[in-house]
Amino acid sequence: MSSQKLEVITSPHVAEMSPLPENTLIGMCNPLLDIQTTVEKSFLDKWGLKENDAILCDDKHNDMFTELTKDFTVEYIPGGAAQNSLRVAQWILNSPNRTVFFGAVGKDQYGELLATKAKEAGVNVQYQINETVKTGTCAALINGTHRSLCAHLAAANTFTQDHLQKEENQKIIEQAKYFYVTGFFITVCPPAIIQLATHSAEFNKTFTLNLSAPFISQFFFDKLSEIIPLVDVLFGNEDEAAAFAKAHGWETTCVKEIALKAAALPKKSTKPRLVVFTQGPEPVVVVEGDKVTEYPVTRLPKEEIVDTNGAGDAFVGGFLSQFIQGKGIEASVACGSYAAQEIIKKHGCTVPSVCKYH
């Protein structure tokens, strides 16, 4: 029989107040409940999954979710890439409601759990509620220090642009100065992304995008290419950078070269594009304009590495927590690396009760 836990570790708020106004940063992505467990490599092979990869599930994976909840000890953890990043940013900022999240969930227990945990973490959750489709889930399968993600979007896939047109959400958008959207959301509602990105450019705000997974560049490149000219800050890892380069026809796998080429792509505003590519334990590559900088990463001892799931999301959360305060790139990268290391020491994208970064 399986043993299933619905409780989640979240961070208590610290009384210290941030100088940032409320609703400074808006995140938009797919809110998913991670169904996390440890599996053998043979399980990944059985379901056609790869280590350290993220995919959208198809019909053949339906029975996999049934098998997981029936035969494995699973843990339910609030997930979804941008929502993870915002929870981490809030943990570091120590002041609730500096960030806002848009995404779609079902009217069910999982949706309520996601909302509760995100609010506990300090995120101002503004979900679009779908009364007929269930909340999305993601199988987060841990094998050693590797993780494989297989997402069943469900309600998350039903987000519509009219949610942003609501009067209360229009006010939030007007308040915000920074926007963070993941590549995953390109599969759901590109018009909503374009709306936020266009607003950001028009009012000289900052729009940031994550490449998210190789399959976004491989299969949704046309939509991605429509958004890139509006992107002020582009995030990704080395595998996502390689897929982005291949989709462009750039014959290089050098992360620094790809970052330079990505920064030089056409842009609608005169603000130089910032490109930030992580490489696991290797240096973070940052390009601002035509300047390349590498920021070394402190390697964790192998025995401290518990789970790499959520490390990329945590890096972005840490980075943005400083960036939206006007801190420099070096400080933002340092905080991103700190957050990623804290997440790697725990299962899932969960944070310690105390943030020691301050």
For 127-140, write each residue's pLDDT tens digit.
999 999 999 999 99
Residue 18 has pLDDT above 80, yes or no: no
Residue 257 has pLDDT above 80, yes or no: yes
Answer yes or no: are the C-beta atoms of 213 and 184 closer than 8 Å: yes
Domain layout of the chain by residue ranges:
25-31+79-135+153-344
The arithmetic mean of pLDDT across residues 224-239, rounded, is 98
CA 86 to each of CA 82, 159, 259, 339: distance values in angstroms, whole numbers, following the listed order: 6, 19, 24, 12
* Joined tokens for residue 130: 């779908």
| Residue carrying the six token digits 């990944």 | 44
Dihedral angle of Cα 209, 214, 215, 216, to the nearest 10 degrees? 20
Cβ–Cβ under 8 Å, residues 95 and 126: no
**What is the DSSP pairing of strand 146-152 with strand 282-288?**
unpaired
Query: Residue 23: pLDDT above 50?
Result: yes
What is the Cα–Cα distance from 279 to 320, expressed in whole angstroms? 18
Q: What is the pLDDT of residues 309-353, one digit of tens each?
A: 678 999 999 999 999 999 999 999 999 999 988 877 666 667 767
Note the pLDDT of residue 79: 87
Q: Which amino acid is at 270?
A: T
Nearest to 57 by CA among 43, 46, 68, 47: 47
- Given phi > 0 = left and psi -120 to 50 = alpha, else beta, which region is 289? left
| 54, 24 contact by CB (below 8 A) | no
Confidence of residue 14 (pLDDT cuts 50, 70, 90): very low
> Tell me: the pLDDT tens digits for 152-167?
999 999 999 999 999 9
Q: Is 58 a catalytic residue?
A: no
CATH topology of domain 25-31+79-135+153-344: UDP-N-acetylmuramoyl-L-alanine:D-glutamate ligase (3.40.1190)
Q: List, for residues 236-256, the tens digit of each pLDDT value.
A: 999 999 999 999 999 999 999
Q: Is the pLDDT of residue 113 over 50?
A: yes
User: What does the alpha-carbon distance between residue 98 and residue 90 come to, in Å, rounded to a whole number?
Assistant: 7
CB 160 within 8 A of CB 128: yes
